[in-house]
Structure 1
């Protein structure tokens, strides 16, 4: 045939072209050193995050109880995430009841480990995971984000380029691999986002899927399902919450995250095709987890929730699907759905989240609607964590 193509060569060519184009896009979007920076927050946003009124925040400045922050020529104060944490610590030091402003773990509380998962790509899993991590960090929790998806979208959103930065090493794979695993503390990176550390993902994570069948044959210990939990033990004292962004399939990586988790968030887009696919996913999960449980894995969760994602309240069929899910799963469906929003998808074009972008970049109503929706979801997740700690 005159025009036959070698698919392997064509795919490689496409991959190289795309990689070069992405590299140049990243250099345009970010400075050449490619470090993202978190914006400052208005007094209104700062007060909402701290759980106080704007007038009380002004009084704290007036009484010199908190240090000065960045102020515009017009006299408007803007707060960095570091400023918010310093104010939180000051308020906590004089609070009548402990944990009023620093709501993370107390002595005796176990670390909360939350897995975001779905069988299907495009269910808003990574978007949900990163917005939850960021909202919790802004509210004073110490968060470790763990990217166990070989596609590494979560890692990319933190300003890294997995295809360059972590091609051979530096990912969570190094801490769970079967030969000479590294301590997790050697892999964890601080991020531009105060309060969040990252255990990066990358393509090399696929190796764990390929190596595990051999490890099972040779009875390599600890078994695959215990490796993630063991890796976390070394660092868990440093965090209140650990968040897994799982790959969109039920492989060994996902199961190892589930066996380390205390809570599970299953994202679901409310249309019948996705719900049918989720039905298969749940059946497969149950069967595989039975096998893992019989092999000695712990299957104790504090909670499991279905998070309705990309919800359009004006869409009749979607409303019916949500009603169907609520009837079926009751309280396991979260009260707050995550709305479908152009603000969230537009922010994603520059590899940012709603909490990172400036409100002025969007139509006010569009931005406010998206932020309100995300805050409701994430504050509901926060209350689940607090309940798990018995508060």
Structure 2
């Protein structure tokens, strides 16, 4: 057998073994990971009712009976699904009002390793665990977000089950039908439009479509149409959700630009390392140049989103700090001024890595699950909560008059 053929066959065997391993890990996560349980003060805070009030409603049959340990007969705590039922009964769901629009946000930077996908995933998990209706839109051909949500890319997804054919307006895929590709996750109120490797071809096809539009008499309207394909589709699917979170490629091509134009707010993760800070400045330069060109072409028809810069991978301790981490954080804050978030994402590699193996975030698991250190989980939860609460206050609530009024009362907005 020729050497090239043997190498090709060997690679095929490696890949098949790897894919079998991944499928096995997914099965373990689905079979062995218990649901997150809420009890005590956590339950009270989520439901917005006192413990005795909840217990009385259960006793009188106004709420379903609680789950009990078969051996001790003690309460196990409420699952998220049960919390959602309680929120509905007590009228405490955090949803936007019907007249308010879902907020669309994206986490983007054109450098890998900045925790773009991880932050997207954790934000969606946190908001879902608060009771919001959340939709993920995965437009990264690497499909990491899809995989994190328990869906195996290209084995359990395909081009037709992604947004690809809707973006390209393929025959039989009108934007109004895009809801049919929304998939469930392990959380009842967190859904996803999955990605697939074939989305890599969408960038090329978009480029061709825009080049063709430039040569036609009605080129401006056609170019605007192609730059807003993702926005048009998201507008068709967002009515059933409160928050839509999009994840795309770490680049600034036509598909990522589509994601930015579809967003109400863009959060730019910036690792607190000097090379990543410099890379983010390059991202800003390129985005600024692209935006100026588009604005010169389309004028006020181009609506750019708000931007927040989120420092990530920060460690202040002498033992684990990256050299210059404190210094770089100071430069990030000086550079981006009021658009830099006050909260930062610290390093939680051990926690995030262990839970990623089981396709879960710190908000999805109980203390002690998945061999995660309890204190490390507690620290990670507190850190991520601070970050995502700030995003709610700065990027989400101001767009909902009902929430904005609450912020104004607190003197926050």
1:249 aligns with 2:246: no
Change beyond 3 A, Cα 1:294–1:111: farther
Change beyond 3 A, Cα 1:19–1:369: farther
Unaligned ranges ≥5, structure 1: 93-100
Change beyond 3 A, Cα 1:177–1:162: same
How far apart are residue 230 of structure 1 and its match?
1.1
1: CA distance between counterparts of 2:290 and 2:347?
Answer: 32
1: CA distance between counterparts of 2:144 and 2:32?
Answer: 15
How far apart are residue 298 of structure 1 and its match?
3.0
Aligned partner of 2:186 in structure 1 is 192
How far apart are residue 263 of structure 1 and its match?
0.6
How far apart are residue 11 of structure 1 and its match?
7.3
Change beyond 3 A, Cα 1:40–1:284: same
Change beyond 3 A, Cα 1:357–1:76: same
Change beyond 3 A, Cα 1:50–1:214: same
Following superposition of structure 1 onto structure 2, how do residues 285-324 of structure 1 map, counting pairs within 5 Å? 285-296=287-298, 297-301=301-305, 303-314=306-317, 315=321, 317-324=324-331
How far apart are residue 108 of structure 1 and its match?
3.0
Specify which structure has the higher proportion of helix: 2
Q: For each residue in 1:113-151, what CA deviation from the matched residue of structure 2 results, as whole angstroms up to 9, or x when unmatched?
A: 001101111111111111111111121211110001000
2: CA distance between counterparts of 1:258 and 1:356?
Answer: 29
TM-score after normalising by structure 1: 0.88
Aligned length: 377
> Residue 206 of structure 2 contacts residue 255 of structure 2 at CA under 8 Å; is this kept in 1?
no
Aligned partner of 2:265 in structure 1 is 263
Following superposition of structure 1 onto structure 2, how do residues 1-391 of structure 1 map, counting pairs within 5 Å? 10=7, 13-14=10-11, 17-30=14-27, 39-44=35-40, 45-51=42-48, 54=51, 57-58=54-55, 60-61=57-58, 65-72=62-69, 73-74=71-72, 75-92=74-91, 101-180=92-171, 181-182=173-174, 183-219=177-213, 221=222, 223-296=225-298, 297-301=301-305, 303-314=306-317, 315=321, 317-341=324-348, 342-360=350-368, 361-384=371-394, 385-390=396-401, 391=404
SS in 2 for 1:42: coil
Once the two structures are overlaid, the 10-residue window that deviates more, 381-390 or 13-22, is 13-22
Change beyond 3 A, Cα 1:240–1:335: same
Change beyond 3 A, Cα 1:67–1:245: same
2: CA distance between counterparts of 1:11 and 1:339?
Answer: 42
How far apart are residue 179 of structure 1 and its match?
2.7
SS in 1 for 2:310: strand
2: CA distance between counterparts of 1:193 and 1:289?
Answer: 37
2: CA distance between counterparts of 1:196 and 1:137?
Answer: 6
> Residue 139 of structure 2 contacts residue 199 of structure 2 at CA under 8 Å; is this kept in 1?
yes
Unaligned ranges ≥5, structure 2: 214-218, 405-413
Q: For each residue in 1:14-71, what CA deviation from the matched residue of structure 2 results, as whole angstroms up to 9, or x when unmatched?
A: 4652353132332244159x68977131304433433555565445545654322212
